[in-house]
Chains A and B, each alone.
Chain A
């Protein structure tokens, strides 16, 4: 995603200079695209508040309901503010392979109030700019929900202040660089026959340079958050009474409502990641729809077969697993890919929440790693496979000057995807480990045991979710 205020679109400039008035026309974003992206942004906001908050909230005990809602609500707001202060600038401006620059601190330069003009950002099509301010808002919701996802591993025992400090650290040193590495690039209009393609590539984020595909955030969002959650669960330790006392979800109705709203909002997340209202948005939309339904079925039937009963929590978890796994693939695979990725996600993530969870032994309370970490890894790898034109995928752009499509081969692309996954896993694990220990040293991570027993709603927030 290239952002530039002053540079005119180079490809369009030469062509359109001859056409006169059409020049100005070409530089105005399409109204339909703009409307779709604003709508998508609002849909992704809905995924955090209230969808994720309700999904998570229903899974904890009633004495901790409000603490979960608060952590998500305030965490979302905190990251949104930080995004506008420095997050966007360091993630999506030209810098090095890991970080951007200070060019957009406090979102400066997005709107010229004296001239009444807006800065333009790039999409994935030539001569198709978008208002950069729309891209800022869209990406803000991604940064914020990613940070909120981590909270599921930490609930029912973490201090509210520790949540906030950790999120600041993790957002700054894990989310921002990973988003930059995976998604920042020069934009299609920079690629002209005269331009130096190698130089342009070198200005992109590291993982983009490798050629890894991540349509809507398999690495940036789900692996990133899933691994951070697991590290947090290990450092934090288990909830008091885990294994001795029963800790059933207090309201699976809320969880079902949350999962359903996640599904709804995810259309903005995935189809919106096309950055235009075009065919790839439609493909991402359908894949998101289909893979999720597949994962609901595969989780439900696998659970029915292996554990005896098909559960509502299983169906809701299957939906989220499918949504996670199709995220990096959404506009990068065809319908066959959506079938396979969805079906695989339900079964693999079920194992992630049962067999693998027992193996790891950490109290990843709401299975952030089992669903988001593992589902993200599965999706990121299978994206490389089902991108193949021979498997119904669209392939990828091999030359941004001519926008020629191609595909390096399943083995080669899978290797690139695996490299991307590996780097993100290691990066976020290290940052999270340091982050949690810093917070532990500064203020401590956990509430006192008696507060944990009484419940965080009363002891941390002074209120109860259910009275009367």
Chain B
């Protein structure tokens, strides 16, 4: 099992959700986050006061998937979230040791 964490542009969330569903991902967790990579932030000017906004709003998607789905999921995310411009985001893949479905007590791939 792998835990896939993707940080994407917020307006791409719906496209990514759809692509992940088509790839066979059954569920995911979404968080609104802020951060920066190469895109950096921007400056805002209020009368004489200039503020640098370092952290850009992003959406973080977390999905646990069986090993067999990892390649498809990565393709789905990069395909759906990409615009070709700086700031499209990143995908991180972690090994996932264990998973339990709370209602039934199922574990492993069956719990996903």
On A, residues with C-beta under 8 Å from B are 246-249, 307-309, 311, 313-314, 317, 350, 353-355, 357-358, 367, 370
Contact = CB atoms under 8 A, between A and B. Distances in A.
A357 B51 contact: no
B47 A353 contact: yes
Interface in B39-77: 44-49, 51-53
Contacts of B51: 246-248
Contacts of A307: 45
A354 B52 CA distance: 17
B53 A313 contact: no
A302 B70 CA distance: 54
A314 B47 contact: yes
Nearest to B51: A246
Contacts of B48: 353-355, 357-358
A311 B52 contact: no
Given A317-B47, A358-B48, A370-B47, 10 more contacts: A246-B52, A248-B44, A307-B45, A308-B45, A313-B47, A350-B47, A353-B47, A355-B48, A357-B47, A357-B48
Contacts of B47: 313-314, 317, 350, 353-354, 357, 367, 370
Contacts of B44: 246, 248
A314 B52 CA distance: 19
B53 to A, nearest CB: 7
B34 to A, nearest CB: 13
B47 to A, nearest CB: 4
A357 B49 CA distance: 10
Contacts of A370: 47
18 contacts: A246-B51, A246-B53, A247-B49, A247-B51, A248-B44, A248-B46, A248-B51, A307-B45, A308-B45, A309-B45, A311-B46, A313-B46, A313-B47, A353-B47, A354-B47, A354-B48, A355-B48, A357-B47
A348 B2 CA distance: 62
Interface residues of B, number: 9
Contacts of A314: 47
- List the 10 shortest-distance A-B pairs measured between CB atoms, nearest first: A246-B51, A354-B48, A353-B47, A357-B48, A353-B48, A313-B46, A248-B51, A307-B45, A248-B46, A249-B46
A367 B46 CA distance: 11
Nearest to A308: B45
A313 B48 CA distance: 11
Contacts of A249: 46
A246 B49 CA distance: 9
B50 to A, nearest CB: 9
Nearest to B54: A246
A355 B46 CA distance: 13
A306 to B, nearest CB: 10
A248 B51 CA distance: 8
A317 B49 CA distance: 14
A169 B47 CA distance: 31
A309 B53 CA distance: 17
A284 B53 CA distance: 44
B105 to A, nearest CB: 36
Contacts of A357: 47-48
A161 B104 CA distance: 61
Contacts of B53: 246
Contacts of A358: 48
A354 B47 CA distance: 7
A370 B49 CA distance: 13
B45 to A, nearest CB: 6
Contacts of A311: 45-46
A247 B46 CA distance: 9
Nearest to A314: B47
Contacts of A350: 47
A98 B38 CA distance: 65
A354 B45 CA distance: 11
Q: Give the one of B46, B47, B48, B52 with max A CB within 10 A.
A: B47
Interface in B2-54: 44-49, 51-53
Q: Give the one of B48, B52, B53 with max A CB within 10 A.
A: B48
